[in-house]
């Protein structure tokens, strides 16, 4: 067993390793939700309230957790979701995540605001990669990113629609994690007492590239002041269904809408030509009073499951969580923090460890459930809170 395999037995172990390696401000940036962290906690509570109903005395010796997604086989029912700060937690963390995904045989989604150019991540990460799009205040300046992603050969475009207004993350403001970063005595000390991150991540950018990490998928003039850059990076709150139709016209491959919770919105996405929706609350970041995606999933599946591929995320930390999502009708599950903790803790091997843990848990839970393949999982394999006696 490698060192990581003995130290990290579950995703929470990787989270604790990430907590030790990262400055507190950066750790909170990836770990917390928004406002009072209610949605963050509720995502977990909602998953924990759902129970699995096992079947017994089936020969489960030949378990196969693979799925087909958009006509392609994948070894696990997982996708690594887009997480903007991957390049801040590890030097070229996006490529590390892409490689881990390719090795595990699952897709990787590159965030718009990555610190490594999309073409580099595609070439050096390999595997099946999707590109996630944020639309910035200047809508037309966002379009070249779509053209670049199309020309580079990303297999899917993920349009994120739940983040058109800024998140209310008071802890980030207090921690100085703003744009530009606010250096305070507290976060200066915080950085100094985390030398593995200071030298291993930030120091490496400065040595190798001559500057701190930057957004490289957006064309921001070199002469822009901090205030201009901040204004540029503000997302576009005019986004509407016409924009989705416009993107459909220019994107020739799989188009996925991320951040849908209402069944009627899923139907609208299908009407606009989307291929899939991701039922998501951005890992509890978008709206602290919002519904948990796992609770929203059954209605979305009922309304649009026949027309769309349905993916779910937010709060998935165990293989058993993944099986609950699939039993409620999802075709696949996105993980955000699970692999982000892994890459924060130990780079590509850390992300690989997160996927190994989830793969082993999925495999084991399939056995407990009497399942040899994931195509046989149905609504009968879960019991919702309302069906349980008090």
Ligand X SMILES: Cc1cc2nc3c(=O)[nH]c(=O)nc-3n(C[C@H](O)[C@H](O)[C@H](O)COP(=O)(O)O)c2cc1C
Q: How far is the CB of 142 from ligand X (least distance, A)?
A: 13
Catalytic member of 42, 74, 194, 282: 282
Min CB(89)–ligand X separation in Å: 9
Number of alpha carbons in the 13 Å side-chain half-sphere of residue 102:
18
CB-nearer residue toward ligand X: 263 or 283? 283
What residue number has its CB nearest to ligand X? 336
Q: At what angle do helices 24-31 and 337-369 cross, to 10 degrees?
A: 50
Q: Which residue's CB is nearer to ligand X, number 127 or number 283?
A: 283
Question: Least distance (Å) from ligand X to the CB of residue 57?
Answer: 34
* Minimum CB distance to ligand X smaller for 44 or for 63: 44
C-beta of 43: minimal distance to ligand X in Å?
6
Backbone angles phi, psi at 302, to 5 degrees: -65, -35
Quote the least distance from Cβ 131 to ligand X, whole Å: 11
Residues that bind ligand X (CB under 6 A): 30, 81-85, 111, 113, 132, 160, 258, 280, 282-283, 285, 313-316, 334-338
282: annotated active-site residue: yes
Query: How would you class 50 by CB atoms within 10 Å of its CB: exposed for 0-12, middle for 13-18, buried for 19 or more?
Result: buried
Nearer CB in complex with ligand X: 63/235: 235
**Residue placing its CB nearer to ligand X in the complex, 232 or 388:** 232
Question: If DSSP states are collapsed to H, E and C, what string results for 289-357?
Answer: CCCCHHHHHHHHHHHHCCCCEEEECCCCCCHHHHHHHHHCCCCEEEECHHHHHHHHHHHHHHHHHHHHH
Closer residue to ligand X, CB minimum distance, 85 or 93: 85
Q: Where are the beta strands (DSSP E) in the chain?
A: 51-52, 67-69, 72-74, 78-80, 108-110, 129-133, 156-160, 254-260, 276-279, 309-312, 332-335, 382-383
* Smallest distance from ligand X to CB 33, Å: 8
169-186 burial, b if ≥16 CB within 10 A, otherwise e?
A: bebbeebbbeeeeeeeee
By the 8 A CB rule, do 127 and 163 touch? no
Q: How far is CA 11 from CA 23, 189, 194, in A?
A: 19, 28, 22
Using CA atoms, how far apart are residues 99 and 351, in angstroms rounded to an integer?
9
Active site residues per annotation: 282
């Amino acid at each position: 067993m490698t060192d990581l395999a003995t130290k990290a037995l579950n995703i929470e172990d990787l989270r604790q390793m990430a907590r030790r390696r990262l400055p507190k401000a950066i750790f909170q940036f990836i770990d917390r939700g928004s406002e009072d962290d209610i949605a963050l906690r509720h995502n977990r509570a909602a998953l924990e309230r759902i129970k699995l109903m096992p079947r017994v005395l089936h020969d489960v010796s030949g378990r196969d957790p693979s799925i087909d997604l958009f006509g392609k086989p994948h070894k696990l029912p997982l996708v690594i979701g887009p997480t903007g700060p991957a390049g801040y937690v590890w030097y070229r963390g996006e490529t590390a995540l892409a490689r881990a995904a390719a090795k595990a045989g699952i897709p990787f989604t590159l965030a718009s605001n990555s610190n490594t150019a999309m073409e580099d991540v595609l070439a050096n990460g390999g595997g099946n990669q999707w590109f996630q799009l944020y639309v910035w205040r200047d809508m037309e300046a966002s379009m070249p990113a779509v053209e670049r992603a199309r020309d580079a050969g990303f297999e899917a475009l993920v349009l994120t629609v739940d983040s058109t207004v800024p998140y209310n993350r008071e802890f980030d403001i207090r921690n100085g994690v703003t744009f530009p970063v606010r250096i305070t005595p507290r976060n200066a000390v915080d950085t100094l007492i985390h030398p593995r991150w200071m030298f291993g991540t930030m120091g490496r950018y400065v040595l190798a590239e001559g500057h701190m990490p930057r957004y490289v998928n957006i064309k921001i003039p070199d002469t822009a002041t901090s205030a201009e850059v901040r204004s540029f990076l503000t997302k576009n709150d005019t986004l509407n269904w016409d924009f989705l139709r416009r993107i459909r016209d220019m994107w020739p491959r799989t188009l996925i809408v991320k951040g849908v919770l209402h069944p009627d919105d899923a139907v609208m996405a299908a009407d606009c030509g989307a291929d899939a929706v991701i039922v998501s609350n951005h890992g509890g970041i978008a709206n602290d009073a919002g519904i948990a995606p796992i609770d929203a999933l059954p209605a979305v599946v009922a309304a649009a499951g026949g027309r769309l591929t349905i993916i779910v995320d937010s709060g998935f930390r165990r293989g058993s969580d993944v099986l609950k999502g699939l039993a409620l009708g999802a075709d696949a599950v996105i993980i955000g923090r699970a692999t982000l903790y892994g890459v924060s803790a130990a780079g590509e091997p850390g992300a690989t460890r997160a996927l190994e843990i989830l793969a082993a848990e999925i495999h084991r839970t399939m056995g407990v459930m009497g399942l040899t393949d994931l195509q046989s999982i149905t609504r009968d394999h879960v019991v919702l809170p309302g069906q349980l006696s008090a």
